[in-house]
Amino acid sequence: MKYSPDEICRAAKAIQPYIVELLDAPNAQRLERQLEGLLSESSLKQGSHTELSSLLLEHEATRDWIRLYLEEQYPAEDILKALRIYYPLPGLMNPVESPRYVCPVEKCHQDWYRHKREEAIPMCPIHDLQLVIDS
């Protein structure tokens, strides 16, 4: 995937609000810090788009997000939902979405997506309550 410096910078700015939902906490924090540094005015003038590109294409989730944003022209706010849709083998018509589970405490932003039926539903790490399916 070859993108122009302008496309890389635009995509890097657009992905920032979604990083915490795309990656686990340590990787998200690392990526956020690195993006902030690379997107600063002085860094952009020094040609940091190569580093930005490497950074954004490092993880499968961010690589898929960038592809949908730049190649498929998805709006940034719709990409997370598009990434969470499972498309079955050709011939089956309806996509299946991974169920989303949330903390039952109002205004708690902890969520989790169930990918396999066998997966146990986790507890909210903040409130120690079992997550419930989001309707």
Question: Is 43's pLDDT higher than 70?
Answer: no
Model pTM score: 0.59
User: In this predicted structure, which of 72-81, 84-93, 115-124 has the lowest mean pLDDT?
Assistant: 84-93
Cβ neighbours of residue 59 under 8 Å, at least 6 residues apart? 22, 23, 27, 31
For 76, which DSSP code? H
* pLDDT given for residue 115 in this prediction: 79
Give the domain ranges of the chain: 5-83, 91-135
Question: Is 94's pLDDT higher than 60?
Answer: no
Model confidence band, residue 39 (pLDDT cutoffs 50, 70, 90): confident
**More confidently predicted of 134 and 127:** 127
User: How far is Cα 28 from Cα 24, in angstroms, rounded to an integer?
Assistant: 6
Supply the mean pLDDT for the chain: 84
User: In this predicted structure, which of 2-6, 87-91, 110-114 has the lowest mean pLDDT?
Assistant: 87-91
For residues 91-109, give the mean pLDDT.
Answer: 77
Residue 3, number of CB atoms within 10 A of its CB: 19
Nearest to 130 by CA among 109, 104, 107, 92: 104
- Exposed/middle/buried for 38, CB within 10 Å: 0-12, 13-18, 19+? buried
130 pairs with which residues across the strands? 123
**Cα three-residue angle 99-102-103, rounded to 5 degrees:** 155
